[in-house]
């Protein structure tokens, strides 16, 4: 007999769940939204679901690949930013949820799990708690919610890589125009685009500093808010 578990979620932030059944652990994520397990006989079984936090730090190889494909990353990031105006804080997943369910199974069984992500409240500067809804059993409980402080850093790292790649593309474009103008002995255009390039570089650095401080401030408020509860 086969147990199939499928996860539904609607938030933009990536998620990862470890699903444990009969001592076997499988992973549900953005690429694999369903897992299957085999069991030999009818009975009452326990299923464990544990959400895992993401790690956005790059290995040396990933850093090299990032630098190698920086222009392409900048183009893709630029198009994504143009078509999306979501607040950076809505990308943060500050909580992790784990839940165990006990289910009696007598034949092939399918369980649909809907993940309700934390929702950011801009006015209160806090997030709602996540939850899991199961197609069966209807009255599932035994859940545990823990803080996911690392995701604040993950959010900044993701923003920094995308924003820096966009700035790199624009600055490179300006510098190409500047040197083409210099080659044609057009000093006025050369100086104009050189100043634009340096100004954009400064703006990029100041924006990264501002966003980092803002995320750190929100993280501190989140920690203080949870300590009071």
Q: List, for residues 74-86, the tens digit of each pLDDT value.
A: 888 877 654 444 5
Helix 150-183 and helix 70-82: axis angle, to 10°? 110
Type and span of the H or E element at 205: helix 187-228
* pLDDT band with cut points at 50, 70 and 90 for residue 56: confident
**pLDDT at 137 (0 to 100):** 75
pLDDT above 90 (res 170): yes
Name the pTM for this structure: 0.81
Q: Taking all residues of the chain, what is their mean pLDDT, rounded to a whole number?
A: 87
- For 60, list phi and psi in degrees, rounded to 5: -60, -40
Looking at the structure, give the CATH architecture of the domain made up of residues 2-54+95-147: Sandwich (2.60)
**pLDDT at 85 (0 to 100):** 47
Q: Which two tokens stand for residue 79?
A: 């198009």
Q: Where are the beta strands (DSSP E) in the chain?
A: 2-8, 16-21, 24-29, 34-38, 43-51, 95-105, 109-116, 120-121, 126-127, 131-134, 143-147
Give helix then strand counts, H and E, for the chain. Answer: 4, 11
In Å, how far are 16, 172, 205 from 201, measured between CA atoms?
Answer: 36, 11, 6
């Amino acid at each position: 007999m086969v147990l199939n578990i499928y996860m539904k979620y609607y938030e933009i932030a990536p998620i990862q769940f470890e699903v444990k059944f009969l001592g076997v652990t499988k992973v549900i994520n953005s690429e694999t939204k369903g897992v299957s397990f085999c069991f030999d006989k009818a009975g009452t079984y326990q299923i464990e679901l544990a959400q895992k936090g993401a790690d956005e730090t790059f290995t040396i190889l990933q850093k090299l690949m990032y630098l190698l494909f920086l222009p392409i990353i900048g183009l893709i990031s630029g198009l994504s930013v143009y078509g999306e105006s979501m607040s950076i804080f809505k990308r943060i997943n500050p909580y992790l949820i784990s839940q165990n369910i006990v289910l009696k199974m007598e034949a092939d069984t399918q369980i649909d799990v809907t993940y309700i992500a934390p929702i950011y409240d801009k006015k209160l500067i806090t997030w709602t708690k996540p939850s899991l809804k199961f197609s069966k059993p209807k009255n599932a409980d035994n859940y545990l919610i823990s803080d996911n402080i690392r995701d604040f850093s993950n959010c900044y790292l993701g923003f920094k890589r995308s924003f820096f790649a966009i700035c790199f593309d624009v600055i490179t474009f300006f510098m190409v125009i500047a040197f083409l103008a210099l080659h044609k002995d057009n000093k006025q255009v050369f100086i104009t685009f050189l100043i634009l390039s340096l100004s954009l570089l400064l703006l990029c650095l100041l924006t990264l500093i501002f966003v980092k401080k803002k995320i750190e401030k929100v993280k501190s408020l989140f920690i203080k808010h949870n300590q009071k509860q």
